[in-house]
Amino acid sequence: MADIFGYIRVSSRDQNEERQAAAFRELTIPAKNIFMDRQSGKDFERPSYKRMVRRMKKDDLLYIKSIDRLGRNYEEILEQWRILTKEKGIDIVVLDMPLLDTRRGKDLMGTFLSDIVLQVLSFVAENERTAIRQRQAEGIAAAKAKGVKFGRPARPYPENFQEVHHDWRKKKITLRQAAEACGMPVGTFYGKVRKFENTT
């Protein structure tokens, strides 16, 4: 007898899965057959998803709320769709896109239309992901141009830095001794020296 499954994915701990869970409750999917991952959609290395796929068998039905809940990588979405529908013989229904329902149109035309819609939506999902990354990069660049600092603040120079720097430049002490006198690794001391000498 065929089973019904539901798959939920939220990309971070801040996202709420309730919208997807509520849609599945209306479909009376057994609670034990609802699988959820709190993980990025960049690939399919997700524990709950893998466990669900292992449990599913031919003629089972999988519901997902929207195509981006399945994933965000265009090629991988298409590959997973092929594995589920062609290799495992599972039907998939995307609730937000009624055209993506493999139970309908099992004939050649129905399959063809479904494949076209899937490819378009997968492409849109990945494009959105790329656009988000670009917006983030542009936002960071704009913030840097305004003088916003990213990362940890630089450690201040130790009180004895000028004296140690002077002794080191006069070859009274070695680089290692100078770094130890300032209580920092050699690389850090040398970086401080370059910054100090460029600003004085």
- Annotated catalytic residues are 11
User: Helix (H, G, I), strand (E, B), or coil: what is residue 70?
Assistant: helix
Q: What's the Cα-to-Cα distance from 191 to each of 157, 176, 194, rounded to whole Å?
A: 11, 13, 5
Tokens matching residue 34? 């609802």
Q: Buried (b) or exposed (e) across 173-194, using 16+ Cβ within 10 A?
A: beeeebbebbebeeeebeebbe
> Taking the CA of residue 41 as centre, how many other CA atoms within 13 Å lie in the half-sphere pointing to its CB?
24
Which residues does 74 contact at the CB level (< 8 Å), separation at least 6? 122, 123, 125, 126
